[in-house]
Amino acid sequence: MEHVALWVAAFLTLGIISFLYKDNPWYKLCEAIFVGISAGYWFIVLFWDNIVGKFWVGVFPPKELNDVGELVNSVEPDYWLIVGAVLGVLMLMRLIPNIGWISRWPLAFIIGCTSGLYLINYFSSNMMRQVQGTIMPLLGMNYELSTYDIIGNIIIVIGTFTGLIYFYFSKEHKGWFGRAAKVGIWTIMITFGASFGYTVMSRMSLLIGRVDFLFGDWLGLIN
Amino acid sequence: MRVGKSTFLHLCLAFSLSLILILILLTLVSAQEVDSLRSSTDSAYTIPDSGLVLVAPVTSLIAEDYKYDDGEQLKLSWVPSIDDQLVDSKVLGYRLFRSIDGGTPEILAKLPPGTNSFLDRTVQRERKYQYYLETFSENFVVQSIVTAAISPEREWLNLDRGWLFIIALFISIAIIFFVEKAKRGHKLYVRKIAGLEAIDEAVGRATEMGRPVLFIPGINDMDDVQTLAALTILGRVSRTIADYDSQIFMPVSRSLVMTAARETIKTSYMAAGRPDAYSDDMVNYVTDEQFGYVAAVDGLMVRERPATVFLLGAFFAESLILAETGNSVGAIQIAGTARPAQLPFFIAACDFTLIGEELFAASAYLSGEPRQLGSLKGQDVGKGLAMSVIILGVLAVTIATAWDVEIMHNVHNWLLGVFSSN
């Protein structure tokens, strides 16, 4: 059985890689299998994790015997979950054309809550901590700051400041403001370049993994 | 009776000597007592021939409510046993016991030597808790005092975030101010964003070529602000598509995104006065699986050959695969994400890229609606504040470290305190 699984995996891997040549029936077959199986898999996972694992078990917790032999709930039922379930059912209302507009309510609830929750998190991490982390000395006469530390600090302070100028939308990028914004976008692009190289290297490891599977596990050419 | 002068002197001398002798005797006695006390104390720690490794208990054990939480935590702190040393420690660890509502104490945690605090996250507001600690060596156990009964409390306000609140309030007031200003007809300037300027041109190109527009809203759900921003831009894009009588198709990887996207496109088509041209088939769910979705979208791209591809939202490892395939079919591509790791790929493979906040500014820019423009202006006030604080803070800390000016130290520490309030 393991042998069959190995051959199926190799067949599908090569089918997906064949897309590099051009779109072909082999790729279409692999694509359909991948999409179909993963959609089915996620349906089952979400059903058992959310509807059963969270909602059903949360509202109707399993019973257990207490010290005097009575059947009691193992944990307190969480009736707040019913609110989520009702919103979920409302979402299905769009299947009935006459009352399809009701499905906008849960959607509005989700979008509103998400915006509110993330406002504080983003404000805290993207602004407060960023500002705090940028306040650093550019000279170090009385303290033992090395030249490298000072250069590093200058790059961080100028990079952050000019980066903020680039993302300032209320003023046209002209004159000294435009030049500062240009420094900002250069800083951003250099960062992207470093990030590009780093990510490409990690993608290479994924490719090596697949090649190792084909030539090692499947063909046995690599020990 | 007359006393001679010499006799008086002798008497004084004898008295002084007696006094000195008494003092010496008293000193010796007290020293002996201290020694005997010391030896008696020492004997409490060493029982000759018993073989027991005796250890002292922890002291100053305090149980208190954990501040600014939902009433779900109690904080315990103590001074470790004096026998709990870094080197040659007699203490092997501590056992923390807890009693609920005066019931039988049960072990709550076993803690390593050197521990001096514990956060109990398994408490309930309506119950009272008491704690004590056992300090143990290899063959001896000693118990601390038992804490007073305490219940966790819920706080409605987290005062640790006071400055966060004040700064957020300041920016909110700025936003409201600019929204009101825009509503009164003041023209608010927003600089050009190249990627957004190209939207009309890109949709027009698709119309001229008779090919569809492909819109990919990333692979995250509606709980990601990038997806929300993408759907806002979708509103404008689909409105232009409806006006031009072009075609759009939008494969998605999340069911909620599918529902929201259908609503958005439908609203745009209705606003364009073409509700009949709208179809639910414009948006279709593929799969939640990241690379399954990518395989399907890549296949769609090479088969449908869209003239324009929008890649807006939260993207991960699939960003370059999608952008490269779009590029290979000759589509004009407008991309945007706030994920720094994926932006380099979009910049390399797409015609226009919205970097980070440009994606979020897009909705205000595109709609020109006073409320959104005011919001964008208010955020710029926040950026101005951040820039000012950076200049002030950097100057303060530089002067403080270079010339040791105390007032600058104070300014620096104050700023750090304000911006660590998160």
Interface test with B, best of A44, A141, A169 (most B CBs within 10 A): A169
- With beta carbons less than 8 A apart as the criterion, state whether A136 and B419 touch: no
Where is average pLDDT lowest: A90-94, A160-164, A209-213?
Answer: A90-94
Q: Does domain B188-368 have CATH number 3.40.720?
A: no
A169, B400: Cβ pair inside 8 Å?
Answer: no
The H-assigned helical ranges of chain A are: 2-17, 25-46, 57-59, 81-91, 104-122, 129-134, 147-166, 175-212
Q: Which of B190, B387, B400 sits opposite A169 (nearest CB)?
A: B190
The H-assigned helical ranges of B272-405 are: 290-304, 319-328, 343-349, 357-367, 370-403
Separation in Å, CA of B77 to nearest CA in chain A: 29
**pLDDT of residue B25 exceeding 60:** no
A104, B263: Cβ pair inside 8 Å?
Answer: yes
Per-residue confidence band for B328, with pLDDT thresholds at 50, 70 and 90: very high
- With beta carbons less than 8 A apart as the criterion, state whether A20 and A27 touch: no
pTM for the full predicted model? 0.74
Per-residue confidence band for B198, with pLDDT thresholds at 50, 70 and 90: confident
Q: What ipTM, to 2 d.p.?
A: 0.83
Task: Give the H or E element holding residue B334.
Answer: strand B332-337
Tokens 């296949």 found at? B299
Domain ranges of chain B: 59-143, 188-368
CATH class, domain B59-143, is: mainly beta
Report d(CA B400, CA B415) in Å as an integer.
Answer: 13
A131, B191: Cβ pair inside 8 Å?
Answer: no
A42, B291: Cβ pair inside 8 Å?
Answer: no
- With beta carbons less than 8 A apart as the criterion, state whether B147 and B118 touch: no
Q: What does the pLDDT read at residue A168? A: 94
Q: Which of B288, B344, B386 sits opposite A131 (nearest CB)?
A: B386
**pLDDT of residue B26 exceeding 60:** no
Q: What does the pLDDT read at residue B37? A: 37
DSSP labels for B301-326?
HHHH--SEEEEEEE--TTHHHHHHHH
Q: What does the pLDDT read at residue A146? A: 84
Supply angle C-alpha B228, B360, B204, rounded to 5: 85
Q: Is the dihedral of CA B174, B179, B184, B187 positive or negative?
A: positive
A42, B288: Cβ pair inside 8 Å?
Answer: yes
Separation in Å, CA of A2 to nearest CA in chain B: 24
> How many alpha carbons lie under 13 Å from residue A166 in its C-beta half-sphere?
20
Average pLDDT over residues A179-192: 95
Q: How many CB pairs under 8 A join A and B?
A: 188
- B345 to chain A: which residues are within 8 Å by CB? 196, 199
Q: pLDDT per residue over B29-69, tens digit each?
A: 445 544 443 433 343 344 555 678 899 999 999 999 998 88
B222, A22: Cβ pair inside 8 Å?
Answer: no
**What is the amino acid identity at position A70?**
E
Interface test with B, best of A170, A182, A204, A210 (most B CBs within 10 A): A170
Per-residue confidence band for B367, with pLDDT thresholds at 50, 70 and 90: confident
Reading the block at residue A142, the tokens are 């009385």
Nearest Cα neighbor of A216 from A5, A6, A32, A19 is A6
Q: Which of A107, A120, A140 sits opposite B263 (nearest CB)?
A: A107
Per-residue confidence band for B273, with pLDDT thresholds at 50, 70 and 90: very high
Q: Which of A23, A107, A169 sits opposite B380 (nearest CB)?
A: A169
Report d(CA A24, CA B390) in Å as an integer.
Answer: 56
**What is the amino acid identity at position A110?**
I
Q: pLDDT per residue over B341-357, tens digit each?
A: 999 999 999 999 999 98
